[in-house]
Amino acid sequence: MTTGAMGIKFRPNEHTIRTWTFPETREDLRRAGETLVHDKALINEAWLEGRVKVLHGSGDYADYFRSMFAGDKQPYIDAAIVDPAVLARLDCDVLMVHGRDDRPFPFAETTLPVSRQIANADVVALARCGHSPALEHPAKLVALARLIFG
């Protein structure tokens, strides 16, 4: 089971770049969070405060994040490409879940073309969902996980 999978070449867009750039300010963090979800109301003060604690209050995490996604974002996408021959050899059931409204990692450019290379891939595109199915549709995600894992 995958959620928001990459695995294929695509070009980073302004949303990909925003989410892979360390949010220096609270407003940067809000914009990055709102980029990841369809329902912007989820990015409330409680969410922001929790993320500020992780990103800005955890020792050297900011430096780690900055170095992890430094520079051009294309090499990070390219590093996640899975060889089509490997995908073609998969013979197990695969469930690929993706937010239909995912802006940083668009469904039609990522999960959908990857799924076509996997013989037993089922795809679920969640409506009114960005890159965070677990945040936006947790009950649906759990129900889908139960379908594939029992």
For the chain, what percent of residues have pLDDT higher than 90?
A: 95
- What dihedral angle (degrees, nearest 10) is formed by the CA atoms of 71, 72, 77, 83? -110
**Is residue 59 very low, low, confident or very high in pLDDT (cuts 50, 70, 90)?**
confident
Helix ranges, the chain (H) = 14-19, 26-36, 45-56, 61-68, 74-79, 84-89, 111-115, 133-136, 138-149
Report the predicted TM-score, pTM, of the whole model to 2 decimal places: 0.91
Mean pLDDT of 25-36: 97
Condensed to tens digits (0 to 9), the pLDDT of residues 71-125 reads 999 999 999 999 999 999 999 999 999 999 999 999 999 999 999 999 999 999 9
* Better-scored residue on pLDDT, 96 or 56: 96
